Structure 1
C-alpha cells in the first residue's frame, strides 16, 4: 500500500494490515529457519533493543487485540474493556508488566498456537474494520496498530542484521542510486514545526504544528558516505579523544572500537557484515550503524556539525531537487523533547518516558515501510544506539 497509513480509509487499511502481518510472519519464520531458539534461550539477549522472536510475534498480535478488539482507551493495565483471547495474554505480552529481561525467560505457548492467535486477531480486526466509520476518531486504533506493527517489523529487520541472519527475499534492501554530493544553502525562515490538526493520524510527539524560526544554514545534499567516514577512521579518529564528547569517550572506552560496528579490516581494504555475509564496503553508500557519538566525532574532525531538528524539517519540506533522504534514519543535534502543549495519547509509553534522554532522528530508512514515511515523523533513540539503520548528514559551522 503506497497510501500513507495516516489517512488510509478502511479498504486501504485492511490491505495494509494483511501486508503487515505477512511481513511479521515472514520475519519470524526467518529467525526460526536460521536455527535460533525463537522462544529465547539464546546465550544472552544479544541486544537490549529487541525481544525473543516468539515473544515479539505474540506481543504484536496482543497489541492489536488490546487497542482494537478490547477497546482499551490507554495502556494502563485496567484500561481494556474486554478480556484477552489468551488465558494469560496480559501476563505474557503486556510490556508494562513484563520487563525486557523477563521476556527472555517467560514460558510461552508453542509457535503454532501463537501463529493461530495472530491469524485469529487479524481476522477479527478486519471484521471490525469493515463495520467501522471513515472518520479519523473511529479509524485511530486501526491506524495505530498498523503503525506499531510496521515499526516492530523494522526492529526485527535490525535484529536480523545484528544476529547475522539473511533477509527474506521480499524484504531485500532498496537503496537509492548514487546522487550528486554538495552543499545546499537555505535562506531560513519560519516553518510550522509538527503536524497540523487535519493531518489524520498524528503521533503524540508531533502535536501540534507551531511556528518555528529557522536561521539561514548550509546542509549536505546527501548523507556522509562510507568513503568519507573512512577518511576519519584512517586519520585515527577513534584514537583521538579530542574529537569525542565526554559521553562519546565513555562509550568508546566501553567498546574498544577503532571503526564502526560491522566494519572488518581485510589487509588494505574494508569489508562489512551484512546479514551474515561479508562484502566489500561500498564506498559510495551512506555510512550506517553509527551512534550519535560517532556522528558527533566525525563532525568535529570535519569542522562541520549535525543539523537541528527544525533545520532538517525545513530542508526536507523545501522540496529542493538536490536533497536526498530515505536511505537511513538521520541523527540530528536535537534532544528528543515535547512540543509546546504536549499530552500523551492512548499509547502513553510511546514518547513521554523517552523525552530528554533520547536524541531525535529524522527521515526514514530502507527498512521503513513506505506507508510509514513522513517528513513530520520524529524517530528517537539513545545516543549510544549503533544497531539502527541510521547515518547522518552535516551542516556548515
Structure 2
C-alpha cells in the first residue's frame, strides 16, 4: 500500500468508516488504561500544563466530531453549529476554544460511563451518515478532520500516560504502548544538491491542513543532513562530555530554561554507577544506544548540535529531503525539531477549525515527521507539528545538518 493510499487525506467513505471505528476503539482503550491507573476523575490528575484530565479529553474528542460532522459547523466559534449537543451541556463542557485549560479540572462532568455512552452514540450516528456521503473531498472534509483530530489526541493520551506513569502509576497493557521504536537510527549523512520542490505537496485533491497552505514552489540550497535522527548513544556522548554544564553550547533561551531545571541528562534518564536507564510508561528500561533519542526539547537539540558542530535543518530542508524519495532518508520514529519557528505560509487562511493553527503562530517551533505513536494514516512529509520549545514530554528527537 502506498503512502497516498494509506493516508486519511484521500480516504473514501468506506475507508473512513473503518478508520473512525479504529480511532475510537484506541481512544477508549487508552482512556481505560488511564482509568485503571486511577486517573478517571479530574481530582486525581495533577494540574499540569502539558496534560488534560483524561475524562475531559475523551468527551472533547467525541464533542469535536459531533460539532463538525453531526452539527455541520463550518467554523469553530461558538454558535457556528446547528442544533444542540447530545449532551445537555456538551458545548459548555467540551469546547476547547471556550473552556480554558485550567478550568477543565473544575467542571462538573458526567460520570465516565455517561461520557463513554456519548462517544458511542456520536460515532454510531456519524457512521450512519457517512454511508450516504459521496466520495467527494468537500463532503468528506469534516469526517477527515474529525479523524485527524482524534488520531492526534490518541498520541496526546500516550504523552499523558508517559507523564503520569513516570510519577509512579501502574503501566498499561503492553499492547497499547510500544516500548521502543521499530528500529535503530540509520547512520551516515545524505547530501542533497538542492533545487526546487512544491512545499505542501499537491493540494488540488484530498484533505490539507490550513497551516500547509498555500502550496508554493520553494528553492532550497545544497545541504547535507543525517540519514536518521540522532541516536541515544550519540546524545549520551554529549552528556558524558558535560554538555549540560557547558553554557557555551546553549542558546540564551536554552540557558534560561536550564537554570530552572536540575538537569544533567534528558528527561526520564537516570544513572546508576556506569549504567543508564530511562523510564518508559512507568517501567525502567536500559538505554538502547542505537535507537533515536527521545524526550528532548528544542534547547537540548540545539545544544547537542552546537557541541557536535552541526545545526538543525530548516523545515524546508526537511520536507525537501522527505519528499525526494531518497531511500536512505528514514523518518517516523520520533518527531523532529527543526530550526524553523511555526509561522504561516504566504496565503494562509484559517479553515473551519480556526483554533488549530492561527493562535499559535510565532509562539511555537515546528517539528516534522512522525513518531512511533503516530497512526500510519496521519503520517505525511507535509505535516507540520508544533510545540513550545521547552516541551520534552512529547515523543520528539531531532536530526542534524552540516554547517
Aligned partner of 1:229 among 219, 230, 235: 235
Whether the 8 Å CA contact 2:369–2:379 is kept in 1: the answer is yes
Question: Displacement, 1:134?
Answer: 1.3
Aligned partner of 2:391 among 380, 385, 394: 385
Q: Label 1:49 to 1:43 Cα distance change in 2 as closer, same or farther (>3 A).
A: closer
2:201 pairs with 1:195? yes
Match of 1:65?
A: 66
Q: Which runs of 5+ in 1 are unaligned?
A: none
- 1:263, 1:142 → 2: CA distance? 40
SS of the equivalent of 2:206 reads coil
For residues 178-327 of structure 1, what are the structure 2 equivalents within 5 Å? 178=184, 180-327=186-333
2:348 pairs with 1:342? yes
- Aligned pair count reads 395
Match of 1:8?
A: 11
Q: TM-score, normalised by structure 1?
A: 0.97
2:175 pairs with 1:170? yes
Q: TM-score, normalised by structure 2?
A: 0.96
Moved runs in structure 1, 4+ residues, more than 4 A?
A: none
Q: Which runs of 5+ in 2 are unaligned?
A: none
Whether the 8 Å CA contact 1:326–1:364 is kept in 2: the answer is yes
Q: Label 1:382 to 1:217 Cα distance change in 2 as closer, same or farther (>3 A).
A: same
- Give CA deviations for 1:236-289 in whole Å, capped at 9, x if unaligned: 111111111111011111112111000011111111000001111111111100
Question: Displacement, 1:153?
Answer: 0.2
Question: Displacement, 1:195?
Answer: 3.3
SS of the equivalent of 1:78 reads coil
- 1:151, 1:44 → 2: CA distance? 22
- 1:376, 1:7 → 2: CA distance? 14
- Give CA deviations for 1:341-389 in whole Å, capped at 9, x if unaligned: 0000000000001111111100000000000011111111111111110
- 1:96, 1:317 → 2: CA distance? 34
Q: Label 1:186 to 1:147 Cα distance change in 2 as closer, same or farther (>3 A).
A: same
Match of 1:141?
A: 142
- 1:368, 1:266 → 2: CA distance? 32
Whether the 8 Å CA contact 2:342–2:363 is kept in 1: the answer is yes
- 1:270, 1:179 → 2: CA distance? 19
Match of 2:22?
A: 19
